[in-house]
């Protein structure tokens, strides 16, 4: 008679202890998960592909997209066209087009592409 009562009393206590023990490691895991998600987000942000022009887009936009992927990703992950205003892109394409060694007509094509998808 004593033993079953003892078991019945002990088991709920054991359960609540088990739960409170499980909470603190979960809190640590939550913090780690947030850091992991932030890192993943940063990685995804870098890996995000710039917009692809539709097949009926102007030829210089198509060519600009091709050049953008080929030349503007050599030193850094692609800077999204939407990260800058259309009015800001000419200076940027000029500056970085030089670094990418783009010919003047290639700069014009990259500019046509980024302005198509700019802010």
The residue range among 8-16, 27-35, 40-48, 93-101 that interacts with ligand HEC, by the rule CB under 6 A, is 93-101
Query: Which tokens in the block code for residue 20?
Result: 């409170």
Instruction: Say how many residues touch ligand HEC, by CB under 6 A.
Output: 16
Residues 34-73 that bind ligand HEC (CB under 6 A): 71-72
Cα radius of gyration rounded to whole Å, the chain: 28
Q: Which two tokens stand for residue 59?
A: 């030829």
Q: 2 or 101: whose CB is closer to ligand HEC? A: 101
Greatest Cα pair distance, the chain, in angstroms, is 95
Q: Is 86 in the site for ligand HEC (CB under 6 A)?
A: no
Q: How far is CA 60 from CA 12, 44, 116, in A?
A: 72, 28, 11
Footprint of ligand HEC on this chain (CB under 6 A)?
71-72, 74-76, 79, 83-84, 92-93, 96-97, 99-100, 102, 110
């Amino acid at each position: 008679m004593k033993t079953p009562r003892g078991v019945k009393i002990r088991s709920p206590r054991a359960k609540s202890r088990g739960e409170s023990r499980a909470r603190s490691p979960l809190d640590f895991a939550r913090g780690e998960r947030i850091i992991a998600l932030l890192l993943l987000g940063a990685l995804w942000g870098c890996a995000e592909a710039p917009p692809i022009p539709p097949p009926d887009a102007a030829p210089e936009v198509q060519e600009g997209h091709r050049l953008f992927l080929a030349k503007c990703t050599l030193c850094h992950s692609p800077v999204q066209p939407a990260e800058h205003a259309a009015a800001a892109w000419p200076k940027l394409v000029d500056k970085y087009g030089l670094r990418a060694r783009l010919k003047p007509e290639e700069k014009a094509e990259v500019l046509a592409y980024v302005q198509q998808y700019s802010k």
